[in-house]
Structure 1
Amino acid sequence: MEIRLVAALATAALVVSAVALPGTGQAAPPPSGTTYTNPITDPFSDTYADPAVIRGKDGWWYLYATSDPLVTGGPFGNMHVAKSRDLATWEYVGTIFDDENKPAWAADASYFWAPDIRYVDGQYVMYYTVTDTAANPDPWDYTIGVATAPTPTGPWTDSGGPVLDPRPAPGGGYLNTIDPALFADDDGSRYLYFGGFNGGIWVTELDETGTRAVGEPTRVTVADRYEGAFVVKRDGWYYLMGSSANCCSGPVTGYSVYTGRSRSPLGPFTDHEGVGMNESRVGGTLVVAQNGNTWIGVGHHAVFSDVSGQDWMLYHGIDRDDPWLNEPGGVNRRPTLLDRLDWIDGWPVVNAGAGPSEGAQTAPVAASELGIVSADPASGHALRRITGTLTRGTD
């Protein structure tokens, strides 16, 4: 019997190591066994706080940070982006905004904090904190902005206004409408979590464009305990993770990450003992805290999965022996740390409870060793077209 084959066949069984990608301008993925050492941003910065990460369609990973100076004595940048092929070695790319493209509705003195990066409807979407708007004469009228871009490095176009208006506080001033985190549910509904110690963490639904809040926000934590929200869904549970204690007190910083879970993205979120995160006797199950080594003040995190399916946490921390930038005064050194996120008895915990790591660690699996480029799977040598005949002999 003769069967004619005209098919595109993967040669996966024959590939035992990374391959070159001729004509693509991209390096081959790293070999297995790659290691990293915290902080992963040390080669290019002294501080890289409030990290967020995404894998671009070009195969690179992109790491974003808040608007601190990168190095001691350096200028405040309007948020930052770096990139990596292997999640272990990073190179700095530049800022998100400059004087030409920063939001016109933000006051000149405004800072831009805590970027949250996603890929939605064919474009990269970044939510971020605006600390001061031009609409109000009072400073620190915090709110959330959003910008879009065709690539992970821009150019970024702001939506033209806040996602939701600044929220006046009952006693004067404004509630902390800060630290945005998008969550897209399985049915396509989009939820934006935001807020902090002055007012609590809240969640609001977004319109179909993802640029404006709709309906009334729901408070999901007490007013003075958590900030830096991040939500993941696992086994039908929504896990709300938030950072607690002061982020930025140098050598006495006690920042840590806690979590609660719910069957609804709107809560209520309860910890492993059933105590709610929005109760006066506030709940929260510990995810990561300082453990006695170099790293203190560990928090404001993002969660991602590597290409093997293993979960990881990015977060900033403070070296207890080197907590401050020399210039400008009062700014903490908060470089980015990376560690494995394990799930034990239904709850997330960093390094199976060991906490922030020191020394060489096995890196995430950042790419397939087949060298497949997601935007062009048939490029390179990983996939090739085979034409021929298959003949089965007869007895």
Structure 2
Amino acid sequence: MNSRTSPHSASPRMSLRLPARRPLPALAAALLGALMALVPGSASACPGPGRVTGDISVHDPSMVRLDDGRYILYPTHNGPQARVSTDRVHFTHAGAAFPSPPSWWGRYSPERSPWAPDVSRQGGRYWLYYSLSTFGSSHSAIGVATSPSGLPGTWTDHGPVYATTTGSDHNAIDPNLFVDDDGKWWMTFGSWWTGIKTIRLDPSTGKQHPGDRTLYSVAARNPTSNGIEGPTLVKRGGHYYLFTSFDKCCAGTDSTYSIRVGRSTSPTGPFRDRSGRDMRDNGGTVVLETHGRVVGPGGQSVMSDVDGDLLVYHYYDRDNNGSPTLGINLMRWEGGWPVVY
């Protein structure tokens, strides 16, 4: 990922600085607040998102820094429609990744509208993974495209990577590409049903590895009627961290999404939360949850930038009629666990 800063952009660190909080009226309340802030997953420990403006009504955002220093973000639906920013604060609409949607999309999405794209730069070019489905169905597919620049209109589609049917016990949506230190490519994906899965990919094609067809189960809810989706896998230090979105999306201020995490010493698990609970059995330490005007944060991705790691996500703005809204927080690692600020 390119780490150059545009000479005309504001400092990303400064742009995400949060306003100072007013002092609490009583010493007892202040002490209580301080204690609650030390409790992992407590609502009072969740900061507000950094300042973003412009065209920021999105779901499931994935962001990367381009070679020219700009940021490009691809969210769910309609192309998908890109947003571009020079300063990580103001985002403008930049057009559809695919002005003419590939015909094969229609087999899985009548609207030919991809969900939850994942954009990254690998091996000198940009890779875009995306999913096609309809609500409540496991007749789904994940596709892949490449681009020399990452910009809308420059993507070449390479067709399906992995698909599921109505008879499958898992769902081929919400892909995330991860490349390990040995150069092995992995794709983590999944939603509801029996949870989050991981497969190995072939770096030469970006598709499922022909010599390794293993399907790893890495996270699940029990009962399966409880939601889990939107995985993101990263490595920091000696651990692999699996971020997921728990519970219900896409219901405005009735959404119950929260972002949770577990870690492992292997990209294929087992992943355990801070208490030691396996993520295949409801484990997951809260990273971000509903607080204040921020309702149902989820659909997250993680991006490394010049000033640190970023948690990029959507939430529903209680103060703006429940509008889906882009959220960006800096994220540090304390005691081996991610903490947003």
**Fold conserved between structures, TM > 0.5:** yes
The 3 A distance-change label for structure 1 pair 33 and 129 is closer
**Distance change (3 Å), C-alpha of 1:249 and 1:228:** same
Q: AA paired with 1:201?
A: I
**Contact map agreement 2:171 2:193 (CA 8 A) in 1:** yes
Which residue number in structure 2 is paired with residue 278 of structure 1?
280
Cα distance between partner residues in 2 of 1:313 and 1:95: 24
Residue 221 (structure 1) aligned to one of 205, 219, 222: 219
CA distance in structure 2 between the partners assigned to 1:32 and 1:341 by the alignment? 13
Report the alpha carbon displacement of residue 29 of structure 1 after superposing the two structures with TM: 3.8
- Alpha-carbon separation, structure 2, partners of 1:314 and 1:29: 19
| Partner amino acid, structure 2, of 1:49 | H
Looking at structure 1, the residues matched to 326 and 12 of structure 2 have their Cα atoms a distance apart, in angstroms, of: 23
What SS does the aligned partner of 1:119 have? strand
Q: Is the 8 A contact 1:41 1:335 kept in 2?
A: no
Match of 2:264, as an amino acid?
Answer: S
Higher helix share: 2
Higher relative contact order (CA 8 A, sep 6+): 1
**Is the contact made by 2:173 and 2:190 (CA closer than 8 Å) also made in structure 1?**
yes
1:65-76 paired onto structure 2 within 5 Å: 65-67=75-77
- Equivalent position to 1:50, from 45, 57, 60: 60
Residue 145 of structure 2 corresponds to which residue in structure 1? 147
In structure 2, C-alpha distance between the alignment counterparts of 1:182 and 1:32, rounded to whole Å:
25
1:62 and 2:64 aligned: no
Matches within 5 A, 1:128-167: 128-131=130-133, 141-153=139-151, 154-159=153-158, 161-167=159-165
Structure of greater Rg: 1
Are 2:249 and 2:256, in contact at CA under 8 Å, matched by a contact in 1?
A: yes
Per-residue Cα deviation, 1:184-230 (whole angstroms, up to 9, x for no partner): 00111000001011231100000132432131211111153421100
Aligned residues: 295
Unaligned runs of 5+ in 1: 1-18, 20-25, 68-76, 133-138, 325-332, 352-395
Cα distance in 1 for residues equivalent to 2:12 and 2:217: 44
CA contact (8 A) 1:204 1:216 kept: yes
Q: Percent identity?
A: 34
**TM alignment of 1:1-395, pairs within 5 A:** 28-30=8-10, 34-35=14-15, 42-45=53-56, 47-67=57-77, 77-98=78-99, 100=100, 102-107=101-106, 108-131=110-133, 141-153=139-151, 154-159=153-158, 161-169=159-167, 175-214=170-209, 215-222=213-220, 224=224, 225-279=227-281, 282-291=282-291, 293-308=292-307, 310-323=308-321, 333-351=323-341
Alignment partners' CA distance in 1, 2:173 and 2:250: 16
| Cα RMSD, aligned residues only | 2.4
SS in structure 2 of the partner of residue 163 of structure 1 = strand
1:49·1:334 contact (CA, 8 Å) conserved in 2? yes
Native 8 Å contact 1:49 1:335 kept in 2? yes
| 1:323, distance to aligned residue in structure 2 (A) | 4.2
